[in-house]
Amino acid sequence: MANKNPVQTAAFKAQQVPKYGDKALGKPICVRYLADIDEILRDLPNRQEFIRNAVASALIEQGLLDTYGDSTHKDKINQLLNDADRVKTLEAKVIELERQLKAMSNATTTAKPELEPNLLGTDWSQVPSAELKGSQAPGSAEEKIRRAIEAIRAYNEGKELSQMYRLSEANVRYLSGSRHGTIKAYFAANPELNDYNTSYGFTVQHDRGKTPIAEVIEW
């Protein structure tokens, strides 16, 4: 005999809800499309799945699905608006920071370095080596280069050729600590330096395998 008062359990009710995979489906939403779109959709063998995936992708792209967890639709909209406000605030801060950096850059470019009064007109040849080595003032580099060259010449004096060091731009740079461009200009202005190397027959490989010059020669 049939049960006149059947009890619908929670499990039974759950089975009655339409599902897509393991997820429950909501109520149908009827939408009309443009004629050309309608024609394409009706020819699709998996029309319903295609439309569901297309809508879900659009919602995810807009941040209305999954991005904000299990919150309600209204909460998601509010979250999007709050995010938009934060983005605008950050953009304003970035613009202000860029303006400040540009102003600082312009100030640095236009500002002229001021030399310390006691360095103006300095006779660097009279400055002690310990003080000269730590100076970056204009004019000090040339004196460092000159002293490095003299130190190499003094070291080579009276030594056998194999013990001597070549008077090269690289060796002068190691000893003086000056910039390559400054040393190159110094050598160009003093061609007799190359004559020194020629007189001893130094080759570019003369110092290969030797102890680094800065560990042997000081000034």
* DSSP line for 6-54: ----HHHHHHHS-EETTEE----------HHHHHHHHH-TTHHHHHHHH
Same domain, 151 and 196: yes
Q: Are residues 42 and 92 in the same domain?
A: no
Tokens 């909501």 appear where?
26
d(CA 180, CA 145): 11
Query: Residue range 189-199: average pLDDT?
Result: 91
Does the pTM surpass 0.85? The reply is no
Structural domain includes residue 189? yes
- Average pLDDT for residues 122-132, to the nearest whole number? 88
In a domain, 152, yes or no: yes
Q: pLDDT grade, residue 48 (50/70/90)?
A: confident
Residues 64 and 82 in one domain: no
Question: Would you state the pLDDT for residue 115?
Answer: 42
Question: For the chain, what is the domain count?
Answer: 3
Look up the domain containing 205 and give its range.
Answer: 128-215
Residue 116 banded pLDDT, cuts 50, 70, 90:
very low
- Asked whether residue 170 is assigned to any structural domain, the reply reads yes
**Are residue 155 and residue 195 in the same domain, yes or no?**
yes
The encoded tokens of residue 209 equal 């395998």
In a domain? residue 192: yes
